[in-house]
Amino acid sequence: MLKKVIVCAVFVLAACSAEETRTYTYSCGDTKVTAEYSDADSIKLDIDGRRYTLPHVVSADGAKYANTDESIVFWNKGNKAYLEVSDKQYPECGQISAQ
């Protein structure tokens, strides 16, 4: 009986510590953006064949991710997002899929 309890406890702890990755695709005008969330501290974005890893930054509302000089900003709330890359502001982004 004790072995069964220990085995169950190990599986429960492993499941709790496993990092869950969530991937969403957004349409920002004609541009498709893939956002991969694997932890609360950063996001990985695929935009036009380039991959960016942005840290989470403080925001008044929603979840905001940006590099240090904020030349790349991804800010989402619900199914909508705002994207700016090197002074190019994309049209409002709408979530089109989730995995």
pLDDT one-digit tens code per residue, 7-48: 333 333 444 445 688 999 999 999 999 999 987 799 999 999
Token couple for 95: 């979530």
- On whether the CB atoms of residues 82 and 76 are closer than 8 A, the answer is yes
Q: Domain spans of the chain?
A: 20-98
pLDDT one-digit tens code per residue, 73-99: 999 999 999 999 999 999 999 999 888
Q: At the topology level of CATH, where does 20-98 sit?
A: Lipocalin (2.40.128)
Token couple for 60: 């008044």
